[in-house]
Amino acid sequence: MKTLFATVILAGFVATASADLIATNLVIKSGTSATLTFPSREPATAEVALLTLLARLESPRLGGSTYAMRLQINGQPLETEHIINKPAKLTMRDGRKLGWFAITGWRVPYAPDFTTNEKSKSPISITDPEPHRWTFDVTRLLRSSSNRLVVIAAPNLPLTSPLAVEQVELVFKPSEFVKRVKWEDEEEPVWTGSSLFVPAEKRRVKYCVTERGDRALRVSYGFSANSKNESQDYIDVESEFRCADPKAFCVKRKVRSLAECVEVTDTIENLTDNDIGLMIHHRVPLADRKIDSLHLCGWPKTMKEGSQHQAMHPSVFVTGDAGSFALLARDDVFRVHCRSALEGGVASINDERFGLAPHASYTMRWNIFPVPSREYWDFINAARRTLDVNFTLDGPMGFIGTPRASAPVLTDVELKAFADNRSLRYVSGGIPYTEKPKYRYLHGSGYLEAGSWAERTKELLQRLAQLRPGLIPVTYFHEFISTETDSPEKYRDARVIRSDGTQGNYPYHYPLPMFCPTLDNSYGRTLPGFFDWARRAVGVQGIYWDEMDGSSETYTYDGRWDGHTVVMDPKTLKILHKPAMITLLSQEWRIKQAKAILRWGSLIANGQPQTDSMMRVHFVRFVETGDINHLINAQLYTPVGLGDHLTERNEKDIARQIRAHLRFGCLYYYYGGHIKTIYPQLTSRMYPFTPIELHPGVLIGKERILTARSGTFGWGDRSKHEVHVFDNTGREVPDFKIETTRRNGATLTELSLTNGWSAAIVRK
């Protein structure tokens, strides 16, 4: 998709007082640009010309950052090869790392001025020195006469904050005084454990749980090898259920000791004739204990405090002096409501918006994981086994858009190279669209107006399937958006309504009205027709389902209620509002459609399950990686990430991104077809993959081990190993020397990989 920008000539900003000052105090509206002209001399020998500027997105307070600025000088984009003062990634105070640059431009912080970021202690502030300053080497780009600098304020939907730019200067310095920040990605995964990677033989944790009254537990674990009774550590877990009327409800608790965790079920019953709301907290007081590390919803928190909400990973993991523990929300409602926190020395998982109808009951379920080691990944693997999500994953997958009717037809050679060099198992058609005015995407029930798109997509996908036997064609689907003509009136009973009474629209440059399908509303009854149309008119053997569990709107205020979500007065705990969470409201409809699809074909979805009920329907789901940290959200279900459309421009970028996925314990699916590929990469040896254990940079599956680090690898049995090694460009290295040994009758492969290389050890 191309975006057009209006150009504004700001000749008044050309410097007159100083030959070095080009402009200052620019405010550029989102989606427009400013063009600055300035004279220059030629740099002398051993002299460097530097273009510097300050930039921020206007905001009344700190608000993170987004890709929002593109720069061109004399027609040449200023990109990574020109920057000298920024690394590949910025670091936030809470430890999160984000890329400074993407195809869409430079990441710019939201801030009220150019100094607040450096002074702030907020977890979303940037710790990099001079986060608002950019310095580029433009020595070879300058002209000795007039020069032209274009500053583009790229749209930053859903916000449209103006881009503020100050102190645009041209500085000449002797090259010996110019320091450059090395631009490179971290390649070696952080790992402090053993270099021997073999699946654990025993998967049982020795612990003891004791109930201490109705709403408190003590979990003792990490028993000493010299004593059957002495424990190295324990935690007390205290539960609190608060309601406006303490006599309005009752709680019945059951506690079970499982192999690797404690399972707690709390059945809550409303004893009254009215709706009630409860604030529910499960807390672990840490008192004076030392906290070595903290993960909230899987995200490492260097500040060792804070709170976070993420239904795909509703957990808190704490490492202390002797061991570690984790809390994990399990049932549908607790997952989507859960706030994970460590505040005031207390770790907790919380539901602060739980509601119950008159005389209704609901059973909440949650786990306590004692982790005798100090390793986050031991918790992840124990949780995956408890959740029963280690099923076989197939792939890889890629997307191909249907060209316009007037565009040249892709040749068989081009199509075969596209599929073979990506080693595709699945290929998905793109979003249906209409070529008739008004040109638009045809989301949801909009497929009814697809016309010739379906015919051309069917031909394209069938050609691909013929050129690559075994390739499974699927097509795009999104249930929460409908661009069908007059859809807001036609499906009035299914509209997503915001708290201000307006209909929700997906953030885009033209309206994408949002709906919530259920089994009994008009949109929910119409929409399954899409799947029949996809099989018949598009000729697919499966569905790619975008944003399956939730989209840009979390709630609907249309009068429907999910039965469990309330907004309460924090002091009186009286119910103020009863919105419906779209994830809960649409769940029964989504599960029914998913099971129906799986009976006739394949199903792949964007976004991990947000509820336990959806998690029990097994099929591949990935996460998008415009922010690589989003791979954390895939660690508790299907560990698959999509390629990064913001940073991948060539095959070496793809190889880099594959290694980044491995560092987060994830597999890789391809994004768009815009990158020409001429050789297969590690993905050619990546699937099928049935997870056994995930580690940072090492994934152990039943069929293969994938690694981005050196070490010794095996399955603890006599199986033979076939090894495929790939260099930092993604090319397979023929005749790579490996060493296979036997220890205690088990086959082991020893690999010494160059930094930036990767390998697949295939089990025979």
Residues 339 and 283 in one domain: yes
pLDDT grade for 46, boundaries at 50, 70 and 90: confident
Q: How many angstroms separate the CA atoms of 541 and 473, rounded? A: 6
pLDDT grade for 224, boundaries at 50, 70 and 90: very low
Residue of 352, 356, 358, 350 whose CA lies nearest to 267: 356
Range with lowest mean pLDDT among 84-98, 332-346, 522-536:
84-98
Decide if 686 is inside a domain: no
* 644 and 657 Cβ atoms separated by less than 8 Å: yes
> CB under 8 Å, gap of 24 or more: what pairs does 217-220 form?
217/255, 217/262, 217/264, 217/368, 219/262, 219/325, 219/368, 219/370
pLDDT grade for 223, boundaries at 50, 70 and 90: low
Residues 727 and 612 in one domain: no
Is residue 11 predicted with pLDDT exceeding 70? no
Decide if 245 is inside a domain: yes
Last residue of a domain, one of 366, 386, 406: 386
673: tokens are 């077809």
3-state secondary structure (DSSP) of residue 289 = coil
The alpha carbons of the chain give a radius of gyration, in whole angstroms, of 28
592: tokens are 């029914």
* Angle (nearest 5°) at CA 471 between 465 and 475: 80
Range of the structural domain that residue 750 is part of: 706-763
Residue of 534, 545, 532, 527 whose CA lies nearest to 454: 534
**Which one-letter DSSP state was computed for residue 38?**
E
Decide if 692 is inside a domain: no
Residues 602 and 528 in one domain: yes
3-state secondary structure (DSSP) of residue 707 = strand
Residues 408 and 450 in one domain: yes
Residues 285 and 154 in one domain: no
Range with lowest mean pLDDT among 37-46, 204-213, 426-435, 750-759:
37-46
The rounded Cα 51 to chain-centroid distance in angstroms is 34
β-strand pairing of 249-257 with 262-270: antiparallel
Helix H or strand E encompassing 27: strand 26-28
* Angle (nearest 5°) at CA 181 between 176 and 185: 150
Last residue of a domain, one of 134, 159, 177: 177
Average pLDDT over residues 15-22: 52
**Which residue shows structure tokens 């379906």?**
454
pLDDT in tens, 457-477: 999 999 999 999 999 999 999
- Please report the beta strands in 661-702, taking only residues with DSSP state E, as ranges in sequence order: 667-669, 691-695, 698-701
Residues 41 and 117 in one domain: yes
Residues 378 and 401 in one domain: no
Percent of the chain with pLDDT over 90: 79
> What is the b/e burial string over 53-84, where b = at least 16 CB atoms within 10 angstroms of the residue's CB?
bbbbbebeebbbbbbbbbbbbeeeebeeebbb
pLDDT in tens, 676-734: 999 999 999 999 999 999 999 999 999 999 999 999 999 999 999 999 999 999 999 99
Helices (H) and strands (E) in the chain, counts: 12, 51
603: tokens are 């199903």
Decide if 490 is inside a domain: no
Last residue of a domain, one of 386, 416, 450: 386
Q: What is the pLDDT of residue 191?
A: 59
Residues 362 and 228 in one domain: yes
Please give the backbone phi and psi of residue 633, each rounded to the nearest 5 degrees, phi first. Answer: -70, -10
pLDDT in tens, 507-540: 998 999 999 999 999 999 999 999 999 999 999 9
Residues 313 and 407 in one domain: no
Question: Residues near 399 by Cβ (< 8 Å), separated by ≥ 6?
Answer: 427, 428, 429, 430, 544, 670, 671, 672, 673
DSSP string, 248-284: SEEEEEEEEE-SSSEEEEEEEEE-SSS-EEEEEEEEE
Residues 340 and 404 in one domain: no
CATH of the domain at 422: 3.20.20
Residue of 486, 550, 543 whose CA lies nearest to 516: 550
Q: What is the pLDDT of residue 17?
A: 23
**Which residue shows structure tokens 């997307």?**
399
Percent of the chain with pLDDT over 70: 95
* 650 and 730 Cβ atoms separated by less than 8 Å: no
* 270 and 255 Cβ atoms separated by less than 8 Å: no
How many domains, the chain? 4
Residues 129 and 267 in one domain: no
754: tokens are 């160059």
* 719 and 747 Cβ atoms separated by less than 8 Å: yes
Paired residues of 750 in beta bridges = 712, 739
* 403 and 422 Cβ atoms separated by less than 8 Å: no
Q: How many angstroms separate the CA atoms of 536 and 240, rounded? A: 54
Decide if 659 is inside a domain: no
CATH of the domain at 159: 2.60.120
695: tokens are 């580690």
Decide if 572 is inside a domain: no
Residues 168 and 57 in one domain: yes
* 450 and 476 Cβ atoms separated by less than 8 Å: no
Residue of 294, 356, 300, 364 whose CA lies nearest to 335: 364
163: tokens are 């881009």
Is residue 192 predicted with pLDDT exceeding 70? no
pLDDT grade for 661, boundaries at 50, 70 and 90: very high
DSSP string, 343-380: ETTEEEEEEEEEEE-TT-EEEEEEEEEEESSS-HHHHH
What's the chain's average pLDDT? 92
3-state secondary structure (DSSP) of residue 153 = strand
Decide if 669 is inside a domain: no
Please give the backbone phi and psi of residue 342, each rounded to the nearest 5 degrees, phi first. Answer: -135, 105
Q: What is the pLDDT of residue 373?
A: 87
Decide if 517 is inside a domain: yes
569 CB neighbour count, 10 Å cutoff: 11
Question: Residues near 119 by Cβ (< 8 Å), separated by ≥ 6?
Answer: none
